[in-house]
């Protein structure tokens, strides 16, 4: 426990070694350093987790603050670099380092032929460092450092192949959208400091628990924090960066845009849960935006043909479910979904990477098909991942999604219905992806067919580990209705205790829960069968890009024209404003003024120069005039 400070430090050291030595270190060395630091961090994290677990078993609140040093001390503002270890951050720590380690190992195989191999591992380690700061921080400032840092690493990694300008633009888009959210975070932090006088969680949350529900200051603070969360976790309106972020290498998509960075928003809201519980309006906004995003993204994913885009929209959709969970007060459920989603989404992305690797960097599913013969391990693991995300019992996705939907039902039937519709879409498009990729006849070129091969062990072993986790992860929080112990809820209980006290437990009969569970499970299986009939029995292949489509299909295929909308509403006016400022304010105005001063000096000097006639008589005359003037002045004013 005393070595907690070592956990973020090790990836930072890995970043420095690999970053500075990127041109001199051999690939094996880079790999050992890059993966080794994360592995050691994971092992230390296991030690930390076991201490927290033991404390929880003993019935304590298990919240440990470990200060490292005092950083800012100015007037009333005292910010220190200190780490908070409690059940919530312990689990996030394991997710970040554990899944991070698996993805590092995967990258050994995936990025092996890339010239920027060492740079990639340096950036990955830097990302792990910042993410660990985010989850381990004990005050909003350390969390914010991590928050901004992961945005930076996201930019660096999305634009990793920066020579392609569209990839660089995607990285820029991600960073700018993240920054819009960061502004909300910063203003919220100012508000928190003004209200509570401190930025430490241990100082804020007990104070906040004494405040009244519906307090306006808290409402504003939480709304701003939620804006930050929409930017980081890709919700409406700041979600369009995530599909574009697929420009980055697949391990990046798995780590950053599935398992860790995008869950930072949910972690932040879970950490600040008491502030949100005291602002019911914000919670309604959170739930509304969560479900809208979930449905919008699911509707778009149904017609996408790029395997990574399907998974990207799926991520946005599942994040929407997590926010829905937070909005209806299912904090444990939302966090449980974070956990299971990390398992199966990372698995799905890594599997997609394996497929892309086998297909010689082809990502269009219309050129795939029948790959289960050549990529058996990838197929089986992706099958497990697809079943998990579709919410089919007994895999993990069923338990987490169902907990959210049960709370939604207790809150409002409409939310449950919309969530259910989203789950139908989810099952359909995920199985569509699976069938188009692995079943039927191979539709690619002969060249691609000759290169088809299963991925090396460095890539398949992480897939297998994640598949196991996705399969059995549900056992972490089996609901009471099914006779389970709700282990995760019990473990996280002290983190959400104040909120639970204010909200009160939900009252849902076990019989209602059974009905809800069976309805969603059966519906998911039905949608899987529908997808099977469409894409395997009838072997339908999606249309080419230019083919005519119906209205709904066109809306979905073109992502509901959201990017075009933003372009027209925001990008173009900003560009016009920028051009105006450039031409009329900067070039004509400011440059004109500055140049004008120079010109005026030049012109006036040209005029005054004419006084230098060189004519002595003229000079004497001027002297006489001057003396006469002085005399006159002396007479009249003296």
Partner 1 sequence: METIVQNMQGVPLTHYILFCSLIFTIGVIGVLIRRNIIIIMMSIELMLNSVNLLLTAFSVHSGDPSGQVFVFFIMALAAAEVAVGLAIIVMVYRNTQSVDINALNRLRG
Where does this chain bind partner 1 (CB under 8 A)? 609-617, 620-621, 624
Rounded CA separation 134/148 (Å): 9
Least spacing, CB of residue 587 vs partner 1, in Å: 34
Compute φ and ψ for 200, nearest 5 degrees.
-80, 140
| 588 C-beta neighbours (distance < 10 Å), count | 11
Secondary structure percentages of the chain, helix, strand, coil, to 5: 75, 5, 20
Q: Which two tokens stand for residue 212?
A: 């009244």
Least spacing, CB of residue 617 vs partner 1, in Å: 6
Least spacing, CB of residue 596 vs partner 1, in Å: 24
Nearer to partner 1 by Cβ, of 529 and 620: the residue is: 620
Least spacing, CB of residue 624 vs partner 1, in Å: 6
Least spacing, CB of residue 613 vs partner 1, in Å: 6
- Residue in the structure block whose two tokens are 């939604």: 408
Nearer to partner 1 by Cβ, of 518 and 613: the residue is: 613
Nearer to partner 1 by Cβ, of 483 and 617: the residue is: 617
Spatial contact of 324 and 287, defined as CB atoms under 8 Å apart: yes
Q: Which two tokens stand for residue 514?
A: 């059974």
Nearer to partner 1 by Cβ, of 507 and 609: the residue is: 609
Least spacing, CB of residue 622 vs partner 1, in Å: 11
Rounded CA separation 317/404 (Å): 14
Q: Which two tokens stand for residue 346?
A: 């990372």
Label the pairing between strands 64-74 and 77-85: antiparallel
Least spacing, CB of residue 611 vs partner 1, in Å: 7
Among 411, 371, 408, 115, CA closest to 249: 115
User: Computed from CA positions of residues 18, 21, 24, 25, in that sequence, does the dihedral angle turn out positive or negative?
Assistant: negative
Rounded CA separation 461/219 (Å): 47
The angle that helices 331-358 and 376-390 make with each other, rounded to 10 degrees, is 150
The angle that helices 376-390 and 396-411 make with each other, rounded to 10 degrees, is 20
Q: How far is CA 231 from CA 85, 147, 224, 336, in A?
A: 26, 11, 11, 21
Nearer to partner 1 by Cβ, of 571 and 620: the residue is: 620
Nearer to partner 1 by Cβ, of 113 and 609: the residue is: 609
Q: Which two tokens stand for residue 184?
A: 């909300």
Nearer to partner 1 by Cβ, of 70 and 603: the residue is: 603
Least spacing, CB of residue 584 vs partner 1, in Å: 39
| 468 C-beta neighbours (distance < 10 Å), count | 14
Rounded CA separation 252/247 (Å): 10
Least spacing, CB of residue 636 vs partner 1, in Å: 19
Nearer to partner 1 by Cβ, of 213 and 613: the residue is: 613
Helix, strand or coil, per DSSP, at residue 357: helix
Least spacing, CB of residue 610 vs partner 1, in Å: 7
Least spacing, CB of residue 601 vs partner 1, in Å: 16
Rounded CA separation 497/486 (Å): 15
Least spacing, CB of residue 638 vs partner 1, in Å: 19
Nearer to partner 1 by Cβ, of 579 and 629: the residue is: 629
Nearer to partner 1 by Cβ, of 216 and 612: the residue is: 612
Segment holding 69, helix H or strand E:
strand 64-74
Nearer to partner 1 by Cβ, of 552 and 624: the residue is: 624
Nearer to partner 1 by Cβ, of 505 and 617: the residue is: 617
Q: Which two tokens stand for residue 92?
A: 């996030």
Contacts of 202 (CB under 8 A, 6+ apart): 63, 65, 84, 138
Least spacing, CB of residue 603 vs partner 1, in Å: 15
Spatial contact of 194 and 76, defined as CB atoms under 8 Å apart: no
Nearer to partner 1 by Cβ, of 75 and 617: the residue is: 617
Nearer to partner 1 by Cβ, of 441 and 612: the residue is: 612
- Nearest 5°: the CA angle 549, 550, 552 is 115
User: b vs e for 594-610, b when ≥16 Cβ sit within 10 Å of the residue's Cβ?
Assistant: eeeeeeeeeeeeeeeee
Least spacing, CB of residue 630 vs partner 1, in Å: 15
> DSSP secondary structure string, 176-220?
HHHHHHHHHHHHHHHHHHHHHS--BHHHHHHHHHTSPTT-HHHHH
């Amino acid at each position: 426990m005393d070595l907690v400070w070592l956990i973020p430090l090790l990836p930072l050291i890995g970043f420095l070694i690999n970053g500075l030595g990127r041109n001199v270190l051999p690939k094996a060395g880079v790999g050992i350093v890059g993966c080794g630091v994360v592995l050691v961090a994971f092992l230390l994290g296991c030690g930390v987790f076991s201490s927290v677990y033991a404390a929880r078993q003993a019935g304590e609140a298990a919240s440990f603050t470990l200060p490292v040093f005092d950083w800012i001390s100015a007037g009333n503002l005292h910010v220190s670099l200190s780490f908070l270890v409690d059940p919530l951050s312990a689990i996030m720590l394991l997710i970040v380092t554990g899944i991070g380690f698996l993805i590092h190992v995967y990258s050994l195989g995936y990025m092996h032929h890339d010239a920027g191999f060492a740079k990639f591992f340096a950036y990955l380690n830097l990302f792990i460092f910042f993410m660990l700061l985010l989850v381990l921080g004990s005050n909003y400032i350390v969390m914010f450092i991590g928050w901004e840092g992961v945005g930076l690493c996201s930019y660096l990694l999305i634009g990793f192949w920066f020579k392609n300008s569209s990839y660089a633009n995607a990285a820029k888009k991600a960073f700018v959208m993240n920054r819009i959210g960061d502004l909300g975070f910063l203003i919220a932090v100012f508000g928190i400091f003004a209200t509570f006088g401190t930025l430490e969680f241990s100082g804020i949350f007990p104070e906040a628990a004494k405040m009244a529900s519906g307090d306006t200051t808290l409402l504003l603070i939480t709304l701003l924090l939620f804006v930050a969360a929409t930017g980081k976790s890709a919700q409406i309106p700041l979600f369009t960066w995530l599909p574009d972020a697929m420009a980055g290498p697949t391990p990046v998509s798995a780590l950053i845009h599935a398992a860790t960075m995008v869950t930072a928003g949910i972690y932040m809201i879970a950490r600040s849960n008491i502030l949100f519980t005291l602002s019911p309006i914000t919670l309604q906004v959170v739930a509304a935006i969560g479900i809208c995003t979930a449905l919008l993204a699911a509707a778009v994913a149904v017609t996408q043909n790029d395997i990574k885009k399907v998974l990207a929209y799926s991520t946005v959709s599942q994040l929407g479910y997590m926010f829905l969970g937070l909005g209806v007060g299912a904090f444990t459920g939302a966090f449980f979904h974070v956990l299971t989603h990390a398992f199966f989404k990372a698995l799905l992305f890594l599997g997609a990477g394996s497929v892309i690797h086998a297909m010689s960097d082809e990502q269009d599913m219309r050129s795939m098909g029948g790959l289960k013969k050549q990529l058996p391990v990838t197929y089986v693991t992706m099958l497990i991942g697809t079943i998990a995300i579709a919410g089919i019992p007994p895999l993990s996705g069923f338990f987490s999604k169902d907990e959210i939907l049960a709370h939604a039902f207790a809150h409002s039937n409409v939310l449950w219905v919309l969530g259910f519709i989203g789950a139908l879409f989810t099952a359909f498009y995920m199985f569509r992806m699976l069938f188009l990729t692995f079943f039927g006849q191979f539709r690619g070129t002969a060249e691609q067919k000759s290169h088809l091969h299963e991925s090396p062990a460095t890539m398949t072993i992480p897939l297998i580990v994640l598949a196991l986790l996705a399969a059995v992860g549900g056992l972490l929080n089996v609901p009471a209705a099914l006779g389970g112990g709700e282990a995760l809820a019990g473990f996280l209980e002290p983190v959400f205790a104040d909120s639970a006290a204010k909200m009160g437990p939900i009252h849902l009969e076990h019989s209602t829960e059974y009905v809800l569970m069976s309805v969603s499970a059966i519906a998911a299986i039905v949608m899987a069968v529908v997808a099977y009939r469409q894409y395997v029995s009838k072997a339908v292949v999606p249309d080419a890009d230019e083919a005519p489509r119906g209205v709904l299909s066109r809306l979905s295929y073109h992502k509901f024209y959201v990017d075009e909308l933003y372009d027209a509403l925001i990008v173009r006016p900003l560009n016009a404003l920028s051009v105006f400022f450039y031409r009329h304010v900067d070039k004509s105005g400011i440059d004109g003024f500055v140049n004008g001063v120079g010109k005026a000096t030049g012109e006036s000097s040209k005029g005054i120069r004419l006084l230098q006639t060189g004519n002595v008589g003229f000079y004497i005359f001027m002297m006489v005039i001057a003396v006469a003037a002085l005399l006159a002045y002396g007479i009249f004013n003296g």
